[in-house]
């Protein structure tokens, strides 16, 4: 079992989705290179970047902020994929598959944010109890 960032399930999911997106957009029309193709690649890459950035942050609040950003980028990537399917540059089946994968990732990010909030609350409660005892 991997430890650290590479062992984090949402990071693994985001990196796998980034790979899938890169593979998928190879089939986009050439005229979409600087429109849909570039946009969806940037969003999918940004999800991984923000998860790794959050992992490296020190405070819980900084971490949570980075994961909020990652969630927003995942939502953007999902929406780009859906719209590519709607306008016919991506087949509906592939669009639905990637949409479902991004939905699962977003749920995972939400779960990790909840976990970090609970950890933050535990730490603050423990610190508060320690301060109460010292007065």
Q: How many domains does the chain have?
A: 1
Confidence of residue 125 (pLDDT cuts 50, 70, 90): confident
CATH at 103: 1.20.1440.60
Read off the pLDDT of residues 35-76 as tens digits, 9 standing for 90 and up.
888 999 999 999 999 999 999 999 999 999 999 999 999 999
Q: Is residue 1 part of a domain?
A: no
Q: Is residue 39 part of a domain?
A: yes
Residue 17 · residue 48 · CB < 8 Å: no
Tokens, residue 32: 């979409």
What is the average per-residue pLDDT within 97-122?
96
Q: What is the pLDDT of residue 126?
A: 79
3-state secondary structure of 8: coil
Q: Is residue 2 part of a domain?
A: no
């Amino acid at each position: 079992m991997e430890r650290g960032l590479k062992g984090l399930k949402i990071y693994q999911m985001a990196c796998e989705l980034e790979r899938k997106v890169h593979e998928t957009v190879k089939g986009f029309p050439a005229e979409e290179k600087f429109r849909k193709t570039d946009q969806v690649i940037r969003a999918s890459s940004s999800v991984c970047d923000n998860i790794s950035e959050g992992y490296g942050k020190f405070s819980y609040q900084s971490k949570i902020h980075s994961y909020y950003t990652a969630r927003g980028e995942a939502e953007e990537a999902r929406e780009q994929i859906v719209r590519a399917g709607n306008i016919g540059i991506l087949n509906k089946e592939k669009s639905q598959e990637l949409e479902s994968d991004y939905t699962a990732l977003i749920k995972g990010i939400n779960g990790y944010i909840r976990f970090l909030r609970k950890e933050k609350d535990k730490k603050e409660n423990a610190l508060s109890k320690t301060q109460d005892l010292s007065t």
